Amino acid sequence: MSRERYLVCPNFCPEAEAMRQAIDQHFAEPDRHQAHLHQVWNYWYVPDLYTYLRTEPEKVIPKPLVDAFQQRLQAWCAQYLGLTEVTRPWLSLYVAGCGQGLHNDSRNGRWAYVFSLTRWDQRQFQGGETLVMKDEVGRPNPRLIEAHAGSSFYDLVPSHFNQLVVFDDRVIHGVRPLQGTMDPREGRLVMHGHIREGGIFAQGALSREALVPVLQEMGQYLERCVTTYGPYYHGLLSLRLQVGSQGRVERIHILTDRILEVDRNCKPATEVSAAICEVFKHLSFPQANGPTYITVPVSLGMPLP
């Protein structure tokens, strides 16, 4: 079970080294660069917010490698977050002076992903970490009565090579301004995008047809959840129901629980999550010749556009 606002997965992708070599090759021999291959970078400057260079990764990295990364990421998101919609990544480059101001991406997805192709351990620059603000910042909280500063309010997540970081898109975040190098191969290089729910999905013995009546029942219950809890809570609870061959829910795995109280006077969000699980525990499925795993993203509050 995870209520963490961000997750870190090291050694994510076997294609990382090949992708990185393609980037190094792209920037090698600058006196031989050609317009159609190299004039592909968008200098993205939004005053007080974004300063970095970005492109579509397949303009720099062979498409089969980018596709392999995307497939791996989609499988990881389905397995660990219970979510199936993953945007195509941007490839972004940060050299001296680049960074991201504080913002959130509440309307862009449930989670953001950042996959690093930065040679972090050999870096000659300062900054470049992903800053992820703590959930309680900006809310009335007894902890804030005490004096705090700097990293008491946020975590700085290093961009280690071949590391995937996902964080709740609602959380205030940024990239610490980078100083120390103008060489693109020495800078911060990341692929990034957003993740959201694509609906309920099932794996295992029960056929799609056999699941239809129970999925309809679940859909009606989820609608009631939105009506009951939606005004007071916001976020996504991602569940995986383990259904035995006799049709009973044998176990509920909470993949992630990012339901937060909209109002501090509400009962704790964990009680809402527990109440939702309690209902799912009593669902009855048809019998089958083996187990079935049903992944259910439960969304409360304003839906994504």
- Applying CB under 5 A, the residues found at the interface with Fe ion are 105
Question: Residue 111 or residue 233: which is nearer to Fe ion going by CB?
Answer: 111
Question: Residue 100 or residue 295: which is nearer to Fe ion going by CB?
Answer: 100
Dihedral of the alpha carbons of 224, 228, 232, 237, in degrees to the nearest 10: -40
Residue 87 CB, nearest distance to Fe ion (Å)?
12
**Would you say 283 and 240 are in contact if contact means Cβ atoms under 8 Å apart?**
no
Question: Residue 56 or residue 105: which is nearer to Fe ion going by CB?
Answer: 105
Residue 62 CB, nearest distance to Fe ion (Å)?
27
Residue 43 CB, nearest distance to Fe ion (Å)?
18
Question: Residue 26 or residue 54: which is nearer to Fe ion going by CB?
Answer: 54
Question: Residue 105 or residue 261: which is nearer to Fe ion going by CB?
Answer: 105
* Spatial separation of the C-alpha atoms in residues 26 and 185, rounded to whole Å: 9
Question: Residue 175 or residue 239: which is nearer to Fe ion going by CB?
Answer: 175
Residue 181 CB, nearest distance to Fe ion (Å)?
23
Residue 110 CB, nearest distance to Fe ion (Å)?
13
Which residue minimizes CB distance to Fe ion?
A: 105
Residue 106 CB, nearest distance to Fe ion (Å)?
10
